[in-house]
Structure 1
């Protein structure tokens, strides 16, 4: 629920009160759900300031005519002191025009609420677990991880702002073949640190220079103890030390982006604690795991495929296209079996789960959703679970693909990118497109000082506001709400854009889409720059009018509140507002 002192909160409550009045008059049944009633700007601003679909969505369940219901609702809304006009459009939409005082009150509300403007209680303190990044601990963070990291962290900021309690979790994939290879690669660098010429890094090992300091640390700690020792004596030790060092590196890389997780969950610890066995036993008891034989893979015949009985999860009962094995033929857990247990564990401490995955994991979404539905449904819970897929980012420099990093051996590190263009540029850029859309990150364009660069355009709006307030002070004028009634139509258009922020926060939180905040900030920056440009042509439309202290004070006050909204939006995204460029 939007803060009730903001215009969208006030008008949403007004529509609700008008519907209550219709219930009291017998024109609307009391038990009709209002969940889908919306109050929002109309698509065409010429139709009014706000519109509501109340009559359209309530007419059918109320067994009445949308137009008739709209007429009754218009009669109630027209009586409100801040509504100057209420009209019916089409089959039953209601358009509202508001008095200028309603918009001026919104400017005052922004000033009063400050950093809290746009905050919502819609989350009602419910706990949401967001798992994001979860890169394998086998090397430094690279730009393949960056977009998902930013989307996840911005979503966490958005949901917290919307009233949810958020757990930011990182799942450490420290079990399986990849970390075994990491341990062997660390042993290779350990031998190198002790003076052995290891030559070219063998195929299948991790070649990056980032393992050199780990090898040196192991050499200093253990000397030549494990030089000729059998693998069974050192592999678990070297794997554990290498994973710990990698996680330190990953935390450090993420910190460069301003990302700090609340919880790191270890796959190895999960398995050592017997959580997969517990999940399997729970599902067997519910009849959702059985021993069976999978169908032969397409293109395989009985001559080149041997049927094996495996424990299978009944994911077809939950919309998947086939049942899924949770163990391999050697008894080890499949990736799915381990993930199933992990999701079962984290579901115990949350009211909703969100996973941020790379788009290459799209094929596993249906089965993991089936698993969560089975596990929580069997407990009698309806746990909301969403998976957000994030496309890769192509790195360019002046339109040409960027070469790989020497440090990593195979990719461009996140640290290199942040060092070159800065945290705020990286974070905001990652949110300038929907996460499921392909993205190019051109080093030249993301720092370009032009309106075609969304990062610059928004930051420039805030910097301009700071500069305007400074110039006003130099001229002896400060922001003042005393004469806001002097503001005209052009200024009101700017107010109306800024006033959409609380509604946008709720809409973005409901859709789990933080990029909507970035898009909104682009619209608000465009509205501010448009007004600024009017002042380039007309002296009387500038924020500071030398011979009019009252008007200057009102416009500076408006500019200050627009700056507040920009700061609040950027804060959600984890981006600092620039005061000068």
Structure 2
């Protein structure tokens, strides 16, 4: 058959040094089994390339902007923002790993009712700036607003004054709140392991671009007005886009009071982004409940800024729910990012004190971050997560600490090794171990995860690799056994592969556990 002829042709072309055999595996598939020498060569590459192992250059010359996290000043960062940050940072690093130039962007709601509520609580009733944290002030202001009466009227008035900056006293409180809450966010980014943009700066910033609603609404409003009635229509004093023409739903872009909605600000943001940097791709990460609204914005952009719209990609993430304990979301509370991390940290600290680590507190944070990030990244980003703390912190099975522990174990083997003889073709066993065959796929898995914007592909690969290392470690005598030089090379290659894989995902790599 044609397939058999193709298999024979490939075998002849590749030769015995590269392929041990080529077979037909069902319709449309040919299996190539690499020869011992070819596998050994790939493992040796993983060993000697160090931190360069797994990097590619398919993205060289590409400019990619990624917008993620997007917490609102005057409110606390919650677990939805933590999910967005984890997914966004992993995708940013995966794309950087392909050789592309990546700029990180953060879009924040620095105007709006939530701001007015927080400012009002700080000034109400007469104890000007009563010093409560901004997140608490927002909750207080929200309760007062919901209670109706004069509070609602006053908060609406403050909202207007914030937009047009007409009141000196309010401007002062507002400006102070912006500075304080944004600094708090930067401290959280640092905790999460983001790298600062300017290493030497005292004020660490972790994004290349910070966009604010106060800067986007004017451009957005201008775009809407320019395209009414051509693209938008007036309805009861408001300006709307009839999405049914695109199989979507109708959205309001300007309210009957003349105020721009989120949709309009998003149009302004798209313009602002393309004005600031000439990107090839612009990726936005949001919660999945914003999917419908974003589709309408994209439909409008295709009509008014087609060149920009063609570069935009939208990724959504699901919700995080909790299986048990004090973090249970059944109580209806918004769980903050810091409370969530602290809950993991408390358990991780108990374990870290019993470890070999020089700095147990640092290890506890590394383990807590691995526990959280792994659970967020292990499935397709759009799916909801049922978070189980016990499972997330487990050293067995699919968890972040499980990957860290496999890495630390391999490092400890290398620390004990005294024989640093270089392996040769003769020191390798006749048949490659399964872990060798898995390891050589790392560069292509990392490239595919970047191409498909799917960190879960790399997470699943590293989980399989860690399992295979643990089996190898349990079954083989590495130091003092047969083929020692080859096995030590394999351990070094595993350390490089696991380290590079975790770094690309934004997961910490502890020295000892």
TM-score by length of 2: 0.79
Match among 429, 441, 452 for residue 387 of structure 2: 441
Aligned to 2:263: 336
Distance of 1:493 and 1:193 partners within structure 2: 65
Unaligned runs of 5+ in 2: 144-165, 195-205, 349-364
The correspondence for 1:289, drawn from 212, 217, 231, is 231
Q: Please name the residue that 1:394 is paired with.
A: 321
**Partners in 2 of 1:145 and 1:180 — Cα distance?**
21
Match runs of 1:344-355 below 5 Å: 344-348=271-275, 349=277, 350-355=279-284
- Partner of residue 213, structure 1: none
CA shift at 1:369, angstroms?
A: 2.4
2-structure distance, mates of 1:195, 1:382 = 44
Q: How does 1:136-175 map to 2 (within 5 A)?
A: 136-175=72-111
Q: Please name the residue that 2:154 is paired with.
A: none
Name the structure 2 match of 1:431. 377
Matched, 1:478 2:407: no
Distance 2:248 2:130 in 1: 53
Change (3 A) 1:322 1:145: closer
Work out which of the residue numbers 273, 296, 306 in structure 2 matches 1:367. 296
Matches within 5 A, 1:144-543: 144-188=80-124, 191=127, 205=141, 232=167, 234-259=169-194, 260-271=206-217, 274-280=218-224, 283=227, 289-293=231-235, 308-313=236-241, 315-316=243-244, 319-348=246-275, 349=277, 350-377=279-306, 379=307, 383-395=310-322, 399-402=324-327, 411-419=334-342, 420=345, 421=348, 422=365, 423-449=369-395, 451-473=396-418, 477-478=419-420, 480-483=422-425, 485-489=427-431, 491-535=432-476, 542-543=477-478
Shift of 1:206: 5.3
Q: Are the structure 2 counterparts of residues 193 and 337 from structure 1 closer, same or farther at C-alpha, using a change threshold of 3 Å? A: closer
Give distance in 1, aligned partners of 2:404 and 2:227: 52
CA displacement 1:330-361 (0-9 Å, x = unmatched): 11111111112112322443211211111232
Query: Is residue 243–residue 249 contact of structure 2 (8 Å, CA) maintained in 1?
Result: yes
Where relative contact order (Cα < 8 A, 6+ residues apart) is larger, the structure is: 2
Q: Give RMSD over aligned pairs.
A: 3.1
- 1:189–1:458 Cα change, 3 Å: farther
**Aligned CA distance change for structure 1 residues 372 and 534 (closer, same or farther; 3 Å):** farther
- Aligned residue-pair number: 449
Q: CA deviation at 1:116?
A: 1.4
Q: Which has the larger radius of gyration?
A: 1
SS at match of 1:205: helix
Aligned residue number for residue 567 of structure 1: 499
Instruction: Give the secondary structure class of the aligned counterpart of 2:433.
Output: helix
Q: Unaligned regions of 5+ residues in structure 1, if any?
A: 1-66, 208-230, 294-307, 536-541
Closer, same or farther: CA 566–201 of 1 in aligned 2, 3 Å:
closer
For residues 390-424 of structure 1, the C-alpha deviation after alignment (integer angstroms, 9 at most, x for no partner) is 1222345xx324279xxxx9544323443414233
- How far apart are the structure 1 equivalents of 2:268 and 2:411? 51
In the alignment, is the contact (CA less than 8 A) between 1:487 and 1:555 conserved in 2? no
